[in-house]
Amino acid sequence: MAHMANLGFDASTWEIYGTLLRGGTLVCIHAETVLEAEAMLQVFRRHDIRTAFITTSLFRTYAEQLPAVITGLEMLCVGGERMHQHDLVAARENLPSKFMHVYGPTENTTFCTSFLVPREEQYANGIPIGRALSNSGAFVMDAKLRLVPLGVVGELVVTGDGLARGYTDPARNVDRFVLVEIGGKKVRAYRTGDYVRHRPTDGQLEFFGRIDGQVKIRGNRYAKR
């Protein structure tokens, strides 16, 4: 497994614990090396790295500069920003057999949904973020925290074992960490502030952007001014 994420980025928890708890080998890669496609190609080959997570923007960089970087991987997870059909074009022939588009706010610890991307499919609304992982929940709700019908755009509300206890500033918890009704039971959840919908054809979640207008750059959210 490649350890490419900064320790301040929650993806590092997946890289570290997902590897060491399964008896795997974690290859720590210098931050400056990560930004150089040719250098990363050599690192992947030298250490026979089979699995990696990279942000969407870094995937675009590799795809444009040197798609062969990802050729030897067996599993590649990409996430942190919205991904479009055109992002796949340059690297389509180099994609590993398991190419996963993953989603998850820090408040629900790393990943809470995933989508195994088929090479042949076309995506008019961007690459889906998929369905909830085991021990996680992903629900589309309206402004009053009621479930919306299939195909209707609403806010993504997530639940599960990875849910944070809250922010260090309690005042910020009020509108974000809430109780919602799922299956007749009250469940603690996090309001992501992201617009999504379930695709009418198969129920996979499609991502449409932020409710508050924030943008994501290399996996981090920033407010517009």
pLDDT of residue 169: 95
**Which amino acid is it at 179?**
L
pLDDT tens digits, 84-100? 999 998 899 999 999 99
So what's the architecture of 2-96 in CATH? 3-Layer(aba) Sandwich (3.40)
Distances from the Cα of 48 to the Cα of 1, 27, 43, 124, angstroms: 9, 10, 8, 35
Of 154, 162, 151, the closest CA to residue 190 belongs to: 162
DSSP state of 173: T
Ranges under pLDDT 50 in the chain? 218-219, 221, 224
Q: What is the full DSSP assignment across 92-119? A: GGG--SEEEEEE--GGG-S-SEEEE--T
Domain extents in the chain: 2-96, 133-222
- Residue 9 CB contacts under 8 Å (≥ 6 apart), including other chains: 219, 220
The CATH classification number of 133-222 equals: 2.30.38.10
